[in-house]
Chains A and B, each alone.
Chain A
């Protein structure tokens, strides 16, 4: 039986957004590219399904898009023409309370006056501080983006990477007017020092972890700027769900001539003379790579499962084995089919909370929020099931049947291995109901009469669905020793591996998880440099 070609210039393992991004650039540079995807759908975490009732669409992984305006893949391949569309909600992220207290709502950066007004209900000083920091951060957003869309700094020969040696840090803190000692502190300490309002602190803790950054991670000053100041409240909603972005990316790849090999689970990266030359799939097919095999799956699967520990040096084997997953970004997705959108008690004070893109529900004070985060990070399913919720149908009617609504949210949970199968089953059976109790307290109209169906996807299922190991959305813990020039580990931080021809292009590499396609883009830069491919970057007026 004839089929697609078996030999390509490059094989890309994994059809998530990073694999798609790298494949598109390689193909545009003139290479033949075979993209191998284990699942029946492309997109990885760009996954939208109808898990309960047909017509109610839920994003099961990625929820919001903060990088559409920065993502080179998005611009260079005109993904909007390929069918991607987004909405930029005005009220971006908020927190609501069961006692009907004023909500806190952070609006889009172009609507800072509204943000100011919301925070000023609690503290004018906090409102001034936050809005000024946000404004100044957005002035340098291109430079912040450049730090994602470039390989991390190369450590001096023979020396360990120094996370504080990044030349960008000092001018950045100077521009923002932030104390340089913040570089050493954790986001939580910085938040507590900068802001006095407990309600704002809670919201910002949550914003910080939302992006995978542990709020108590020391030497977290840069991470604070990135996750709390820059990447919050610039979220876009994908019309039709995040999978439509995967669709657009796939159409872009097809137009460049990428060959899609789907339902193709790679079980082995084939080596010849210590060089990566191909891939074998579970169903017995083999594919050859003339120049490059690039893997967008996480580093442990890539090097230990697909290449094999026996083919690694002692150092690389140890480093890979010691690469850690979670608990910083281990999530469960809770999905709800509703007959009406939530109407919060806090809307009595500020009705905008009912039209807020992302709303934190179920936390009444900072201790509850910190208990929650610490429980999840500390191997426990949090006792109090608060969540951050998106009601996408408020902005995009296509995600629910006419007149109905969908709500999707995230719970932070321990890594998948902390509970056995029965344990997670129990969580799936009971946790949504427990959350509903809290949700009803904040939004009395959300109750058994307005909930048509609900379903919970737990970290073990994230693992089995997308092979995001341990349910870690970032494919590797966010920690000082696993970031930037040390991600996944210092020797592998430039997307190259010790196996000639084998590259890393997934979220285990800098800049990590999130729908920015940074690892795929940066891996292209590395491959282009090694193989003399066209410099397809810094196009369209970008500095990266």
Chain B
């Protein structure tokens, strides 16, 4: 069995486990909740509007920076492979690359991109 076959088996097993758990729960305690039972709890007063709303994810700058450094790690793998062959040149090039990223990070810091909200 190849890798794909293994993945399919895991998928199938997970699906069966989820279905069995659902079936078991309905067999052990069959309930249908009433409307007031389904209302989200906020302290005793039902919410007036739908919970689905659009708001500003202010930490997106952090997410973008994470992606930048994540990609940097991806570049480091091939660099590590050729590092011994290329020697000091590779080291200097990588330091320059990291330095450019760090300048971006300092700029983000100055612009208060790391404050959560």
Partners in one complex: no
Residues of B within 8 A of A (CB): none
Residues of A within 8 A of B (CB): none
